[in-house]
Amino acid sequence: MTDDSFGAIANALRGCQRIAVACHVRPDGDAIGSLVAFARSMVLAGKTVHALSEDGVPANLEFLPLTGIIEKPDDYPLDLDVAVALDTATHERLGERTVKAMSAAPLLVNFDHHATNPRYGHLNHVDTTSPATGQIIYEFLTQQGFPVDADIRDNLFAAISTDTGSFQYNSTTARTHRIIAEMIEAGLDAATISQKLYDEHPLRRVLLLKALLNEMKISAGGRIASWALTMATQQGVDMEPGDTEGLIDTLRSIEGTMAAVVFEETSEGKVRVSARSKDVRLDVSLVCAQFGGGGHRMAAGARLPGPIAVAEDKFLQSLTNEITRLD
Ligand SMILES: [Mn+2]
């Protein structure tokens, strides 16, 4: 499918005054960083902007500049000329209140990098070669002459750094490094943002890591490392949204593993599954799709009914089948 050009989207935005920008539910670094960066640039361009996040800002990302502009949407449609969805693979993943808040906008723009994105906007730019939506937003803003300041650079760095696993995943391109270089030349302090992202964890997050190390399970002949994070463990450390971000990388780091999986029990009794592949032949989004989920080849997710032990068995069985198929 051909996507709409940056020029066409920029022209449409230039003709709009009232803009809502939003990201997906349970936002990660790419979602929040892209959201703040885009919203701030539109404010600097003289627009009236609502920056919407159904689930607010996770505790681990609150340090980023201007996250205070983010609103949790109310349950009614806003008066808008345009709505912009960022990093959100399906329209529903914006969240129920966000979809409603944006419902009166005559124009919906969809910027994303998920291969499964069905192009639900009126204007769509879905670049699956980009490792982060933040990278797409950087290109869009700079190429189209929209304002980019220091706060925007901090947020775009956080977006790109987190979605590339600190530039380690194979989705990272030469262009990614050049963008970071351009931002450093413009004054970005990458080391300080990195330290706050990766070396300032609250103790409760390290206690979760301790539980992971005690409870992790190795299966499929050493090729899968997984962890079931129960509600009891979450309550034991007073877990907050964002605390589990990156924990899966400990499982991923084990020699010989092809896949890492975290099963997280939710307060509604469901089980949230996060899966990572370490082998380009193994597409974990296919396994997640078997359970109604999706995502990227190397990083995907799904939601299964509980109880957690049953969800764990079912998912690990499907993943094992997929791995065995590659033998
Ligand atoms: Mn992303």
CA of 158 to the centre of ligand 1 (A): 11
109-127 per-position pLDDT tens digit: 999 999 889 999 999 999 9
pLDDT at 176: 98
CA of 203 to the centre of ligand 1 (A): 27
Confidence category of residue 93, pLDDT binned at 50, 70, 90: very high
Average pLDDT over residues 91-95: 97
Residue 21 makes CB contacts below 8 A (sequence gap 6+) with 35, 38, 39, 42, 49, 50, 51, 52, 83, 84, 86
245 vs 149: which has the higher pLDDT: 149
140-172 per-position pLDDT tens digit: 999 999 999 999 999 999 999 999 999 998 899
Query: pTM for this structure?
Result: 0.91
Q: Has residue 189 got a pLDDT over 90?
A: yes
CA of 112 to the centre of ligand 1 (A): 7
Average pLDDT over residues 21-49: 98
CA of 163 to the centre of ligand 1 (A): 6
CA of 173 to the centre of ligand 1 (A): 15
Average pLDDT over residues 169-192: 97
pLDDT at 327: 86
Confidence category of residue 1, pLDDT binned at 50, 70, 90: low
CA of 25 to the centre of ligand 1 (A): 12
CA of 307 to the centre of ligand 1 (A): 29
Average pLDDT over residues 2-23: 96
210-228 per-position pLDDT tens digit: 999 999 999 999 999 999 9
- Here the tokens at position 11 are 């022209």
Distance of CA 210 to the CA centre of its chain: 25
**Residues whose beta carbons lie less than 5 angstroms from ion ligand 1:** 30, 87, 133, 163
Q: Has residue 306 got a pLDDT over 60?
A: yes
CA of 89 to the centre of ligand 1 (A): 9
CA of 236 to the centre of ligand 1 (A): 30
CA of 132 to the centre of ligand 1 (A): 5
Q: Which domains are seen in the chain, by residue range?
A: 6-198 (3.90.1640.10), 203-326 (3.10.310.30)
> Are the C-beta atoms of 10 and 38 separated by less than 8 Å?
no
CA of 221 to the centre of ligand 1 (A): 31
pLDDT at 116: 87
Q: Has residue 2 got a pLDDT over 90?
A: no
Q: Has residue 186 got a pLDDT over 60?
A: yes
CA of 34 to the centre of ligand 1 (A): 9
Average pLDDT over residues 276-297: 94
Q: Alpha helix (H) ranges present in the chain?
A: 6-14, 29-44, 96-101, 133-143, 150-163, 174-185, 190-198, 203-215, 231-236, 248-252, 284-289, 308-326
CA of 133 to the centre of ligand 1 (A): 5
CA of 138 to the centre of ligand 1 (A): 13
pLDDT at 182: 98
pLDDT at 33: 98
